[in-house]
Amino acid sequence: MGVWSFYFFLKLFLYLGKFIGFHVWPNLGFALALAWPLERRWQRVLRQVLAVPAGLALLYYDSWLPPFQRLISQAGYLQQFSFAYLLELLGRFVNPLALLGLVLLFAAWWLLGQRLRMGSFAVLGILLVPLSQQLGQQLSLRLAQPATALTAAAPATSAGGDAATVATAVTDTRPADSAELNSALEDFYRREAGRQLKLNAPASPAVPFDVIFLHICSLAWDDMDYVGESKPAVLDRFDIRFSNYSTAASYSGPAAIRLLRSACGQTSHSALYKPAPGECYLFNTLAQAGYQSQLLMNHDGHFGDFVGDLREGGGLKVPAIDNRSAPVKMRAFDDSPVYGDLALLSGWLAQRPAEGPPVALYYNTVSLHDGNKLVGVPKSGVRDSFRQRLQLLFSDLGQFLDQLQASGRKAVVVLVPEHGAAVRGDRMQISGLREIPSPAIALAPVAVKLIGLAAPPKDGPVTVSAPTSLFGLSSLVARFIEHSPYGSEPPALADYLRELPQTEFVAENDATVVMRLRGRYYLRNPDQSWAEYDTSH
Assess whether 216 and 90 both reside in one domain. no
420 confidence band (pLDDT: 50, 70, 90): very high
Q: What pLDDT shows up at residue 79?
A: 65
* Residues 197 and 105 placed together within one structural domain of the fold: no
Report, in this order, helix, strand and coil percent for the chain, each rounded to 5: 45, 15, 40
Question: E strands within 410-471?
Answer: 411-417, 443-451, 462-464
First to last CA, the chain: 35
Q: Do 278 and 136 share a domain, yes or no?
A: no
What's the pTM? Answer: 0.84
**pLDDT tens, 455-500?**
999 898 999 999 999 999 999 999 999 999 998 888 999 999 999 9
Tell me, yes or no, whether 11 lies in a domain. Answer: yes
Answer yes or no: is 159 within a domain. no
Q: Do 378 and 249 share a structural domain?
A: yes
What's residue 157's pLDDT?
32
Q: How confident is the model at residue 154 (pLDDT cuts 50, 70, 90)?
A: very low
Domain that holds residue 23: 4-142
Domain boundary residue among 107, 142, 177?
142
| Average pLDDT over all residues of the chain | 89
Residues 444, 104 contacting (CB under 8 angstroms): no
Whole-number pLDDT of residue 147: 41
Residue 151 lies in a domain: no
CB 235 within 8 A of CB 241: yes
Q: Are residues 86 and 225 in the same domain?
A: no
pLDDT for 123 equals 93
CA 38 to each of CA 51, 122, 207, 257: distance values in angstroms, whole numbers, following the listed order: 14, 19, 86, 57
- What is the DSSP pairing of strand 462-464 with strand 520-524? unpaired
| 276/363 same-domain check | yes
Q: Could you tell me if residue 150 is inside a domain?
A: no
- Asked if 225 and 356 sit in the same domain, the reply is yes
Judge if 83 and 187 occupy the same domain.
no
Is position 98 within any domain? yes
pLDDT at 203 over 70: no
Q: Report the SS3 class of residue 202.
A: coil
Tens digit of each residue's pLDDT (9 = 90 or more) over 326-377: 999 999 988 899 999 999 999 999 999 888 899 999 999 999 999 999 999 9
pLDDT band at 78; cut points 50, 70, 90: low
Domain tally, the chain: 2
For residue 59, which amino acid is it? Answer: L
Domain endpoint, select from 125, 142, 159: 142
Domain shared by 366 and 418, yes or no: yes
The pLDDT assigned to 139 comes to: 60
Q: What is the pLDDT of residue 64?
A: 80
Residues 104 and 58 in one domain: yes
Q: Are residues 216 and 135 in the same domain?
A: no
Lowest mean pLDDT among 195-199, 242-246, 500-504: 195-199
Cβ-based neighbours of 427, under 8 Å, separated by 6 or more: 17, 18, 19, 534, 536, 537
Q: Are residues 68 and 114 in the same domain?
A: yes
Band of residue 74 on the pLDDT scale cut at 50, 70, 90:
low
